């Protein structure tokens, strides 16, 4: 039976029905999870295994039968480790049905069926007793319930319930303990992701609305590869502080708690940001430690293990405050059952401040703009490019229409002298945020906000005038892959009858760019999982391999490549051009070509991005922000995600053997898709099948 699901096409904006295969959820959810990355994490696997062996030995030394409870078993790896270490029986709990089914197959293939029972339930629904899921309570509790924030996957409620209902009083726990660390810093870069800064527009300043300035911001954690944030990008205002620890071998509370750390400020600065990470102690003595600390905390940074399933966290203080070197400070972390947040107390504050509640956006801006978007809006060099382009196309009698989500371009157009400015903002919250901005700068009503779709607009909406200048960044909140912003072209085409015959379109065109790359680490998330790093089992049967081999994706995936170092092995080049001065074509646009390998290395895939040509001589890139270095080093914008197409099999190249990457791309206007057709090298590289680059 065929299954269909609805979606709004991010490129065309049209609601469409997409046929899905019968096991769609299974393939999609498992493939896009972090299981492949975890199975390749040798440091994690080895330390879990050593910790489990030690726990089993301690229980056996007490003369007890070893019964293990593994909550969140995933592939069943930790349960198999426990049985291999000598456990008598293991109950492996996995709430996600497709993954539980996969674990069942993995356990069976590796010969553990008689000693491991897969329970497809949430752990809080598991029962113990003659008719229950478990015959008896466990004396070893093994879990991997952690996320970047440690507790964001509900670890605390799960532990609390397990200690109350599923494990014995003197149970061993692996991991035994978790400890959270934090460091207070000043960082112009990181703070630009939290608050809208004043913007210079042609000598004038656009200031953020007071409600935005005083808003505590979004409550969700900002999780990033902190190792890729250079220490030059921030100033430490205090030492790395131990904030709190959780002992998993005892009853854990999921209720609200707060913990404070006192220290002396190390330097003058603006207290803005808290960098945070955690580690796991696998044994009671703390001799087996798995840490999430960023690489720049290591004496030898190259020895830091890489992982993507657990990263580091950036927390933004509710407001920035000035601190002086030598000043006594108190950093407080609060947490409920799922999230953490921080606040700062200085000695100058006469009375202790009440503990803040979890941050919640009250200005709507943090709901309209995500953190990379804040950084993009605060990028003055990028703003200067748009201002220069607008100056060159606007006239005193210009009637200007802007098409982008939550964009400041229409405000810029008004400030630069356009006679009338309209902005197409379908989102009510976006319109309200821009209206707040206009009011804060005494420009109320200067931009007329239109909440309609392009095809719904008529000349009546523009006072019987025709649009002389159509502008866009383009930026749309629904865009995932770089070419999804071609939605601007569809809007431009829908508005054709409302544009003056000689109307200016900005950007006038866009180009899709490509470069073949060698990733330092990102390749691991899509590498085949035939075996586990650090543990000698073969956990992937044919069915599971097929699902996790979405790791070798048939589609392009969006990734913020500034967080994932890579080397270019070929020149970067524009492979397809989209002319916005013309209406959307009816026929597909196809292009073929090849790129020579100019550097030695292992080609893991290709990176793809868009560059927008605002005018003939002003271009804004959503990918590389400067030419590739002689060594092949790439510097990517932090504001947008790039598209990555992983090869089925990494390809070693010497750079001197004359090999090339041949490509064939087709843009389907009716579908809004860009497809990569059969492509090859001097020996087959991509495989013969047609591959869609859109999710």
- Give per-residue pLDDT as tens, 254-276: 999 999 999 999 999 999 999 99
Residue 558: pLDDT above 60? yes
Residue 193, token pair as written in the block? 């992701």
Averaged pLDDT, 511-529: 91
Percent of the chain with pLDDT over 90: 77
* pLDDT per residue as tens digits for the range 274-285: 999 999 999 999
Residue 561: pLDDT above 60? yes
* pLDDT per residue as tens digits for the range 430-445: 999 999 999 999 999 9
More confident residue, 30 or 8: 8
Residue 26: pLDDT above 70? no
Say which of 94, 144, 172, 425 is annotated catalytic.
144
In the prediction, which pLDDT does 508 show? Answer: 98
Confirm if 84 and 68 have CB atoms less than 8 A apart: no
Confirm if 170 and 191 have CB atoms less than 8 A apart: no
| DSSP letters spanning 52-92 | HHHHHHHHHHTT---EEEEES-TTSHHHHHHHHTT-SEEEE
In the prediction, which pLDDT does 220 show? Answer: 86
Residue 687: pLDDT above 60? no
Averaged pLDDT, 26-35: 55
- The secondary structure element, H or E, covering residue 340 is strand 340-346
Residue 546: pLDDT above 60? no
Give the span between the Cα atoms of 23 and 2, in whole angstroms: 11
In the prediction, which pLDDT does 370 show? Answer: 96
Residue 104, token pair as written in the block? 């069942």
In the prediction, which pLDDT does 21 show? Answer: 53
In the prediction, which pLDDT does 549 show? Answer: 37
Identify which of 684, 694, 692 has the alpha carbon closest to the alpha carbon of residue 661.
684
DSSP 210: H
Spell out the domains of the chain, with CATH numbers in brackets. 32-176 (3.40.50.150), 178-365 (2.70.160.11), 371-505 (3.40.50.150), 509-520+565-682 (2.70.160.11)
In the prediction, which pLDDT does 414 show? Answer: 97
In the prediction, which pLDDT does 85 show? Answer: 97
Residue 22: pLDDT above 70? no
Q: What share of the chain is helix, strand, coil (3-state, %, to 5)?
A: 25, 35, 40
Averaged pLDDT, 454-465: 93
* pLDDT per residue as tens digits for the range 399-411: 999 999 999 999 9
Averaged pLDDT, 642-654: 86
In the prediction, which pLDDT does 17 show? Answer: 55
In the prediction, which pLDDT does 527 show? Answer: 79
Residue 322: pLDDT above 80? yes
In the prediction, which pLDDT does 353 show? Answer: 73
Number of helices (H), then strands (E), in the chain: 15, 35
Say which of 29, 64, 101, 153 is annotated catalytic.
153
* pLDDT per residue as tens digits for the range 48-100: 999 999 999 999 999 999 999 999 999 899 999 999 999 999 999 999 998 99
Q: What is the mean pLDDT of the chain?
A: 89
- Kindly give, in sequence order, each residue whose CB lies less than 8 Å from that of residue 483, ignoring residues fewer than 6 positions away: 11, 512, 608, 610, 643, 667, 674, 693, 694
Strands 660-668 and 235-236: unpaired
User: pLDDT confidence of 19, banded at 50, 70, 90?
Assistant: low
Residue 169 vs residues 97, 124, 172, 251: alpha-carbon distances, Å: 30, 18, 9, 9
In the prediction, which pLDDT does 224 show? Answer: 96
Residue 2: pLDDT above 80? no
* pLDDT per residue as tens digits for the range 656-679: 677 888 888 899 999 888 887 644
- Kindly give, in sequence order, each residue whose CB lies less than 8 Å from that of residue 397, ignoring residues fewer than 6 positions away: 419, 468
* pLDDT per residue as tens digits for the range 331-342: 999 999 999 999
* pLDDT per residue as tens digits for the range 466-500: 999 999 999 999 999 999 999 999 999 999 999 99
Residue 122: pLDDT above 70? yes
Averaged pLDDT, 310-322: 95
Averaged pLDDT, 619-640: 97
Is the whole-model pTM more than 0.85?
Answer: yes
Strands 289-291 and 269-281: antiparallel
More confident residue, 661 or 247: 247
| DSSP letters spanning 395-453 | -TT-EEEEESSS-SHHHHHHHTT-SEEEEE---HHHHHHHHHHHHHTT-TTSEEEE-S-
In the prediction, which pLDDT does 423 show? Answer: 97
In the prediction, which pLDDT does 534 show? Answer: 64
In the prediction, which pLDDT does 550 show? Answer: 32
Averaged pLDDT, 643-666: 83
In the prediction, which pLDDT does 694 show? Answer: 27
Give the span between the Cα atoms of 69 and 58, in whole angstroms: 16
Tell me, yes or no, if 153 is annotated catalytic: yes
């Amino acid at each position: 039976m065929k299954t269909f699901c609805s979606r709004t096409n991010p490129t065309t904006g049209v609601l469409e029905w997409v046929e899905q295969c019968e096991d769609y959820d299974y393939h999609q959810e498992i493939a896009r999870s972090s299981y492949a990355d975890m199975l390749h994490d040798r440091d994690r696997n080895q330390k879990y295994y050593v910790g489990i062996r030690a726990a089993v030995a301690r229980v056996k030394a007490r003369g007890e039968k070893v019964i293990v409870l593994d909550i969140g078993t995933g592939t069943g790896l930790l349960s198999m480790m426990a049985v291999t270490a000598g456990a008598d029986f293991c109950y492996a709990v996995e709430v996600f049905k497709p993954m539980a089914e996969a674990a069942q197959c993995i356990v069976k293939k590796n010969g553990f069926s008689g000693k491991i029972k897969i329970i497809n339930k949430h752990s809080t629904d598991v029962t113990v007793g003659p008719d229950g899921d478990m015959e008896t309570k466990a004396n070893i509790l093994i879990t991997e319930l952690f996320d970047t924030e440690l507790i964001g996957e509900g670890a605390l409620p799960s532990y609390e319930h397990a200690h109350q209902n599923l494990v014995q009083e003197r149970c061993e726990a692996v991991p035994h303990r978790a400890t959270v660390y934090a460091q207070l810093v000043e960082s112009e870069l990181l703070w630009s992701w939290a608050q809208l800064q004043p913007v210079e527009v042609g000598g004038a300043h656009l200031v953020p609305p007071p409600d935005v300035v005083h808003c505590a911001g979004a409550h969700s954690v900002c999780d990033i590869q902190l190792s890729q944030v250079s220490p030059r990008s921030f100033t430490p205002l205090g030492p790395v502080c131990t904030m709190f620890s959780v002992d998993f071998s005892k009853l854990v509370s999921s209720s609200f708690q707060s913990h404070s750390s006192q220290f002396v400020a190390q330097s003058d600065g603006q207290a803005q940001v808290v960098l945070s990470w955690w580690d796991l102690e696998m044994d009671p003595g703390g001799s087996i430690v798995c840490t999430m600390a960023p690489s720049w905390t290591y004496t030898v940074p190259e020895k830091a293990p890489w992982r993507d399933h657990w990263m580091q966290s950036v927390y933004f203080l509710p407001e920035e405050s000035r601190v002086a070197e030598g000043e006594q400070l108190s950093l407080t972390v609060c947490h409920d059952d799922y999230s953490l947040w921080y606040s700062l107390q200085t000695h100058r504050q006469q009375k202790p401040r009440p503990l803040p509640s979890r941050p919640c956006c009250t200005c709507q801006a943090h709901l309209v703009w995500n953190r990379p978007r804040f950084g993009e809006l605060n990028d003055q060099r990028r703003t200067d490019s748009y201002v220069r382009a607008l100056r060159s196309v606007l006239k005193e009698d210009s009637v200007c229409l802007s098409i982008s989500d939550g964009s400041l371009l229409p405000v810029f157009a008004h400030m630069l002298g356009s006679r009338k400015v309209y902005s197409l903002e379908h989102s009510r919250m976006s319109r309200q945020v821009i209206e707040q901005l206009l009011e804060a700068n005494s420009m109320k009503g200067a931009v007329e906000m239109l909440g309609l779709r392009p095809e719904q607009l008529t000349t009546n909406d523009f006072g019987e005038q025709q649009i002389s200048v159509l502008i866009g960044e383009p930026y749309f909140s629904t865009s995932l892959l770089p070419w999804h912003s071609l939605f601007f072209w569809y809007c431009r085409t829908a508005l054709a009858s409302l544009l003056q015959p000689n109307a200016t379109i900005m950007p006038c065109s866009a180009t899709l760019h490509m470069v073949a790359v060698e990733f330092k680490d990102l390749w691991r998330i899509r590498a085949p999982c035939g075996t586990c790093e650090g543990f000698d089992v073969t956990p992937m049967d044919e069915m599971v391999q097929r699902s996790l081999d979405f790791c070798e994706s048939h589609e392009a995936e969006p990734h913020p490549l500034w967080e994932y170092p890579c080397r270019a092995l070929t020149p970067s080049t524009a492979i397809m051009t989209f002319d916005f001065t013309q209406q959307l074509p009816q026929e597909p646009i196809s292009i073929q070509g090849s790129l020579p390998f100019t550097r030695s290395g292992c080609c893991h895939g290709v990176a793809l991005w868009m560059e927008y040509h605002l005018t003939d001589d002003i271009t804004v890139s959503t990918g590389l922000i400067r030419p590739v270095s002689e060594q092949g080093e790439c510097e990517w914008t932090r504001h947008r995600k790039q598209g990555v197409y992983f090869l089925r099999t990494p390809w070693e190249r010497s750079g001197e053997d004359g090999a090339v990457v041949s490509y064939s791309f087709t843009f389907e206007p009716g579908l809004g898709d860009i497809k990569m057709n059969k492509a090859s090298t001097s020996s087959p590289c991509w495989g013969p099948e047609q591959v869609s680059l859109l999710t």
